Amino acid sequence: MDPRDLPSRPARRPEGFVARGPRPVGTRGDPTLDPADGEERSLLTGDFQLFQLVRGHRWSMDDLVTAYFAREAVLARWADAVGDDASRSLECLDMGCGIGSVLLMCAWSLPRSRCTGIEAQPRSASMARRSARFNGVSDRVTVFDGDLRDPAAIAPEHRDPTVRFDLVTGTPPYFRDGEGVESTVDQRGPCRFEHRGGVEDYAQAAARNLASEGVAVLCAGSLERDRAARGITDSGLNLIRWVEVVPRAFKAPLVDVYVLSRGSDRGPSIERETLTVRGLDEQWTPAFVALRDAMGIPSAPPKRR
């Protein structure tokens, strides 16, 4: 591998680990695909890498669980769309895609699908595009600058506005504007505080863009459950799966993942599932190990030397 194509920080992987899935094409001599001052290029999923600021908004577990449950939802409906030998192509949309973490994880999981992102922060959108180019998926990953609440934001001059998406994802900010002290660090404020809408707006945008047989996956803070329930109801979408994510056994949930559809496949009641990340022994739970493995991330920590 060209040394310029290595991630900015040494990979913390077990000895002998080989990532599956599509591989990045690298810089191929393009200096714009080298990290600029204040940036780094970090491992994401499989061997895919992501541009992010050293001090700025960075990809997190919220993004990982969103992409994983999106993959699970696709598997449940179109099993032939997932994996290296996928035979089906889907249209995917990530709303408020930021630096492109969920967008690119979906592109990795669904190697034949076309993935579209919409992002209001120009710097974040630009970084997402550069990551798509580095990973060799810019022919099927497009990022538009715009506000997800605007029905015309997904550049209708470049795309048929009547086309709807099979998969829609979104990770709304967790705090209302003015509810706390907002960071002045680049990207962080609008990623955490509702400058351009909250979970209700994401649900409305998902309903507006979702195909008749499609599925939407939203990840929202667990403290916003009442708002999420109202927003989902008002959007007209059906809740078909609800997973609360607990960072450590017997701790309060951190985020909730909602899987939604436009169809009539909602059961008589939705039982809340729980994904616990770490057990009382501080080790990853078997469920979280399986999640990491499905997303091409080592399921065991590297041995200490």
Domains of the chain from N-terminus onward: 62-172+198-294 (3.40.50.150)
6-10, 120-124, 127-131, 152-156 — which is least confidently predicted?
A: 152-156
pLDDT at residue 144 tops 60: yes
Average pLDDT over residues 89-101: 95
* Cβ contact 245:254 at 8 Å: yes
Which pLDDT tens digit goes with each residue over 212-237? 999 999 999 999 999 999 999 999 99
Residue 229 CB coordination number (10 Å) = 15
pLDDT at residue 161 tops 70: no
For helices 122-134 and 101-109, the axis angle rounded to 10 degrees is: 30
Q: pTM (2 decimals)?
A: 0.90
Please list the residues that pair with 246 across neighbouring strands: 276
pLDDT at residue 189 tops 60: no
Rounded CA-CA distance 278/4 in Å is 35
* Cβ contact 52:99 at 8 Å: yes
DSSP string of 45-101, one letter each residue: STT-EEEEESSS----HHHHHHHHHHHHHHHHH-GGGSSTT-----EEEEET-TTSH
Residue 218 phi, psi (nearest 5):
-120, 140
Query: Residue 4 has what DSSP assignment?
Result: G
How confident is the model at residue 171, as a pLDDT?
A: 93
Which pLDDT tens digit goes with each residue over 27-62? 999 999 999 999 999 999 999 999 999 988 889 999
By percentage, how much of the chain surpasses pLDDT 70? Answer: 85
CA 194, 259, 110 angle in degrees (round to 5)? 100
Rounded CA-CA distance 21/111 in Å is 8
Rounded CA-CA distance 228/231 in Å is 5
Structure-model confidence comparison of residues 305 and 242, the more confident one: 242
How confident is the model at residue 305, as a pLDDT?
A: 46
How confident is the model at residue 302, as a pLDDT?
A: 52
Residue 53 phi, psi (nearest 5):
-75, 145
Average pLDDT over residues 113-134: 95
Q: What is the mean pLDDT of the chain?
A: 88
